[in-house]
A and B are shown apart, each in its own frame.
Chain A
Amino acid sequence: MWQTLRAELHPHGLEVVTVALDTGGAEAARRWIDAAHPEHPALIDQAHQLDALLGIVNVPSGVWIDERGMIVRPPEPAFPQRPAFQNVDPDNPALIERYRDNPRGLEVVREVLKLRIEPEAYVAALRDWVANGAASRYALAPDEVVRRSRPRPPEVAEAAASFELGQHVYRLGDQAGAVGWFRRAHRLQPDNWTYKRQAWSFADPRQGPTELYEGDWLSDVRASGAENYYPPLDL
């Protein structure tokens, strides 16, 4: 998805590094990375280290790092283009027909269409930073980077410990034992979609309702408001 933009901006000093946040490791991510044939580093974060290190709570998230290794924009929603799934007419008869036997699937599609996605503004800001470096109005001062990073109250720190334990137990093969830790992480940090979606996907790849978890993608997005799923860019 980022190849075209990388090809445009790499000659001007930008490198793209993708990181798959996947408890399933390389095997979970391989299909997508192989299909993309990336020329940039494509890494795997099986332990979701970046969640706690940088404060990533949803994907895709982008972080800008300057030539000295300083973060100049903390995690924020990052789309290189408007995704194809947003070019759908929610009332298109063909769409309704396709989901005739799956009404919940149609509801998910219609909810996805309400998500705030701002690729045009994001890519314009990225191009400006690549061209102008520290003089770009989009490159933030260190204090502002810290201020904009998410807070870590005790319950969020505990959610990180609980999610890490859940992942570890899951990778040991005790999937049932992991559920309690995942549920605890969800309860402690309900706005962390990476914690939720990773765990839900183990119970149901479509992240629908199951007996294991209190929430599911559609119900939780509706409860918090589709417009809040990706916060507005503060450029």
Chain B
Amino acid sequence: MILDTLDLDDAEFARRTGWEIKPEGACRDDRCVPLPAMPDVAVGHVDVRVFAERLGMPLLHDEAHGLWSLGPEAGGRMLASAALPDIELPDLDGNLFALRVLRGQKVLLLAWASW
């Protein structure tokens, strides 16, 4: 995930990462991870550095462009479960297609490339 700031309000943080900030910590599905105090950001905001460290996510900084890249959680397997993640991608004309609309059919998802 590409970020241009490490200070996100809770709503934006949830929208970007899928993790919701609750009194018990950062929560997604049935899992909550307690977060320590974040003195460098305002109430109702998340310091992405703290979150990344607590979740074991790499956070890389590109100084030339003022960007950060927040990587996936390290450890375990690529697929945390067999449930297909929510995938929505455009076609050639830019129309978004969500794989969930194919529920009820078997799907062969094929990754290819032009290179």
Instruction: List chain A positions with a Cβ less than 8 A from chain B.
Output: 2, 13-22, 24, 26, 28-34, 41-45, 49-50, 52-56, 59-72, 74-75, 78, 126, 129-130, 133, 142-143, 145-147, 149-154, 156-158, 160-162, 164-165, 168-169, 172, 174, 177, 181, 194, 197-198, 200-201, 205, 207
Contacts and interface: CB of A to CB of B under 8 A. Distances in A.
A30 B93 CA distance: 10
A45 B85 CA distance: 15
A146 B76 CA distance: 9
Contacts of A19: 89, 109-112
Contacts of A65: 84, 99, 102, 106-109
B101 to A, nearest CB: 9
B69 to A, nearest CB: 4
Contacts of B82: 70-72, 142-143, 145-146
Nearest to B79: A149
B113 A59 contact: yes
Contacts of A78: 108, 110
Contacts of A147: 77
A172 B62 CA distance: 13
A2 to B, nearest CB: 6
B104 interface: yes
Contacts of A172: 65
**Max chain A C-beta neighbours (<10 A), residue from B56, B70, B84, B90:** B84
